Structure 1
Amino acid sequence: MKTWIEEIHLIRDARDRAAFARLFAHFAPRVKGFLIKSGAEPSVAEDCAQDVMVSVWRKAHQFDASRASVATWIFTIARNRRIDLLRRDRRPEPEDLGWGPEPDLPQEAELELQQESEQLGKALAALPAKQRELIEKAYFGDLSHREIADMTGLPLGTIKSRIRLALEKLRHAMD
């Protein structure tokens, strides 16, 4: 019997479907159970587990045995996917948003809002390019940190660190 690390390497190096099938048969039910225990509905857990296993197939090249076991790596992907789903579920649906024109602000408040917008624009322009791009993707592009990491190829931790640093700089600039 091969170790899970050997199975990941077969997937990474040879796109070995049999190795993936063995990995899938072992981990997919466990990931689904983990997600259900963490509060996901069974159907959501099933979809999420499938998505996690697809990520394992696509990202086998990112596995590093010196940093984590195969199980830890897979369950970390599952935990992060669950967090992404929770964040997505907390966003208001379009029908929950108010429709129609917003009431006019008093002239004083409108001027203050305009000044704050200009100040924010200057603060954004002053950020290092790498941080500014991530802020724009996250807040103007409405992408999750995971989506940005997938899009840029940067590690998720790097994305989070750069965004956190950028937000801290923006807070100081706005004070």
Structure 2
Amino acid sequence: MIDDLEAYFRRQTRPQQPERTQVAIAAASDGIPTVGPQLGGLLTLLARFGGVRRALDLGAGNGYSALYLADGMDREGEIVALERDPRRAVAARQNLAGCLPQANVLIGAAQEVLPGLKGTFDLVLLDIEKSDYRFALDHCARLLRPGGLLVADNTGFADAEPFNAALAADSRFRSINLLCLLPGHQPERDGLALAVRA
């Protein structure tokens, strides 16, 4: 084994684009935890590999994660992002402007907005309040197309445990929950769940 694996893999993290760094700095100054460049890069790869044309970002913050999703999507794709804080939603709209022709930021809490969402998505990124993950799971199942991908961040948080248990037992998904080292993520050691809709 390589000596000091964590330090080694931290060094493998590719630098992010300067514009993305500015979005991350703005997020940090506003107290918004970001997924960081490593998980961001994974989101880009998953979107590209899956041919994602329609993505749902639950917990947009200032749009940092959605920018990485957009990097992997077709230019004619669509991102729908949800952010409960109106001020942060404005920042997300500004940051997403021009990344895709169709980037829509909805304002409101997941419990208020999710029941009214329609249509199907190829990928859902779940990164809202962890205590709301279990509530969101049924809506994610409803909104994802068969073969669509659910990516749930922060599954190492105690408040995500009911979601973790429900996802593992849910026959609507084929899932895996991983303990990860994610340099630049807040926190760096956390859980990440990936689930494909049956």
> In terms of Rg, which structure is larger?
1
How high is the TM-score relative to the length of structure 1?
0.26
Higher fraction of helix: 1
How high is the TM-score relative to the length of structure 2?
0.24
Higher fraction of strand: 2
